[in-house]
Chain A
Amino acid sequence: MTLVNIKGLKVSFRQHGGQIDAVRGVDIQLAEGESLGIVGESGSGKSVSCLALMRLLPNTATITADRLELDGVDVLKAKPRQMSALRGKIAALIFQDPATAFDPVFTIGHQMVETIRTHRDVTKETALAEAEQLLLKVEIKNARDVLNYYPHQLSGGMLQRAMIAMALSCRPKVLIADEPTTALDVTIQAQILQLIKGLQAEMGMALIMITHDLGVVAETVERVVVMYGGRVMEEGTVDQIFDTPKHSYTQSLLASLRAGESRRAEPGTGEPIAPALELRNLSKVYALRRRGRIFSTYVDFPAVRGVNLVLPRNKIVGLVGESGSGKSTTGMMAMRLLEPTAGQIFVDGTDISKLDVTALKAFRRRMQVVFQDSYSALDPMMTLAQIIAEPLNIHGVKSSREQTEEALSWLERVGMDRSFGNRYPHELSGGQRQRVAIARALILGPSVLVADEPTSALDVTVKAQIIGLLKNLQKQMGLSMLFISHDLSVVRSLTDSVVVMYKGRVVEQAPTANIFANPRHPYTRSLLDAIPVTNPRDRRERTFITADDIAAGTPRLSRSSLAAEAAAGDIPQLVSVAPGHLVEAIVTN
Chain B
Amino acid sequence: MIVYLIKRLLSVAVTFFIVSLVIFLMMHAVPGGPFTEKDMPLSAAVKAALNARLGLDQPLWVQYVNYMAGVLQGNWGVPYQSPGETVISLLQQAWVPSLILGGSGVIIGAALGILIGMAAALKRNSWIDYLASTLSVLGLTIPVFVISMLLILIFAVWLNWLPASGWGKPERWILPIIAYAAIPLATYARYTRSAMLDTLNRPFVTALRAKGLSERRIIFQHVLRNSAIPMVTVFLPMFMGTATGSIFVEAMFRIPGLGSYFVSSIENRDYPLEMALVLMFTIGICFAYLISDIAYAWLNPRIRLGDDAK
Contact = CB atoms under 8 A, between A and B. Distances in A.
A associates with B: yes
B210 A87 contact: yes
A87 B211 contact: yes
Interface in B195-252: 202-204, 206-215, 217, 222, 225-226, 229
Interface stretch (B29-37, B53-61, B274-282, B301-309): B301-309
Contacts of A114: 211, 213
Most buried by A among B206, B210, B299: B210
A155 interface: yes
Contact of B225 (A56, A85, A105, A288): A105
A118 B310 contact: no
Given A93-B210, A100-B204, A150-B302, 16 more contacts: A54-B210, A84-B213, A87-B210, A87-B211, A89-B212, A97-B203, A103-B204, A103-B208, A104-B204, A104-B302, A115-B212, A118-B211, A118-B212, A152-B302, A166-B211, A291-B308
A152 B309 CA distance: 9
A415 B208 CA distance: 43
Interface string B268-310: 0000000000000000000000000000000111100111111
Interface string A95-116: 1010011111110000000110
Given A84-B213, A294-B3, A152 B307 contact: yes
Interface in A68-98: 80-81, 84-89, 92-93, 95, 97
Contacts of B299: 105
Nearest to A107: B301
Nearest to B225: A105
A350 interface: no
A119 interface: yes
A472 interface: no
B255 to A, nearest CB: 41
B226 A154 contact: no
B208 to A, nearest CB: 7
Contacts of B210: 54, 56, 87-88, 92-93
A487 to B, nearest CB: 24
The prevalent SS among residues of B at the interface is helix
Interface residues of A, number: 40
Contacts of B310: 153-155
Given A150-B301, A150-B302, A105 B212 contact: no
A63 to B, nearest CB: 15
Contacts of A80: 214-215
B39 to A, nearest CB: 63
Given A56-B209, A87-B211, A95-B203, A291 B306 contact: yes
Contacts of B202: 100
A289 interface: yes
A141 interface: no
A101 B306 contact: no
B176 to A, nearest CB: 37
A41 to B, nearest CB: 20
A77 B210 CA distance: 18
A290 interface: yes
Contact of A101 (B204, B214, B222): B204
Interface residues of B, number: 29
Given A97-B203, A166-B211, A104 B226 contact: yes
Contacts of A155: 310
Most buried by B among A81, A152, A166, A294: A152
B207 A101 contact: yes
A498 B130 CA distance: 60
Interface of B: 3, 202-204, 206-215, 217, 222, 225-226, 229, 299-302, 305-310
B225 to A, nearest CB: 5
B204 A150 contact: no
Nearest to B307: A152
A84 B214 contact: yes
A170 B212 CA distance: 11
Nearest to B310: A153
Nearest to B201: A58
A67 B242 CA distance: 59
Nearest to B226: A105
A95 B229 contact: no
A93 B203 contact: no
B212 A86 contact: yes
A103 B222 contact: yes
Nearest to B205: A103
Nearest to B3: A294
Nearest to A101: B207
Interface in A521-550: none
A48 to B, nearest CB: 12
B112 to A, nearest CB: 25
Contacts of B203: 95, 97, 100-101
11 contacts: A54-B210, A88-B211, A92-B211, A101-B204, A102-B204, A104-B204, A104-B226, A115-B211, A118-B213, A150-B301, A153-B309
A27 to B, nearest CB: 23
Most buried by A among B207, B306, B309: B207
A61 to B, nearest CB: 13
A51 B206 CA distance: 10
B306 to A, nearest CB: 7
A71 B23 CA distance: 74
Give the top 7 A-B pairs by smallest Cβ distance, nearest first.
A88-B212, A87-B212, A93-B210, A150-B301, A101-B207, A88-B211, A100-B203
Contacts of A85: 212
Contacts of B308: 288-291
A153 B307 CA distance: 7
A547 to B, nearest CB: 15
Given A152-B307, A291-B306, A84 B207 contact: no
Contacts of B301: 104-105, 150, 152
Contacts of B302: 104, 150, 152
A8 to B, nearest CB: 24
A89 B212 CA distance: 7
B204 A84 contact: no
Contacts of A86: 212
A119 B204 contact: no
Contacts of B214: 80-81, 84, 118
B300 A105 contact: yes
A190 B119 CA distance: 45
Contacts of B215: 80
A116 to B, nearest CB: 10
Nearest to A152: B302
Contacts of B226: 103-105
Contacts of A88: 210-213
A208 B273 CA distance: 74
A152 B308 CA distance: 10
A118 B209 CA distance: 11
Nearest to A86: B212
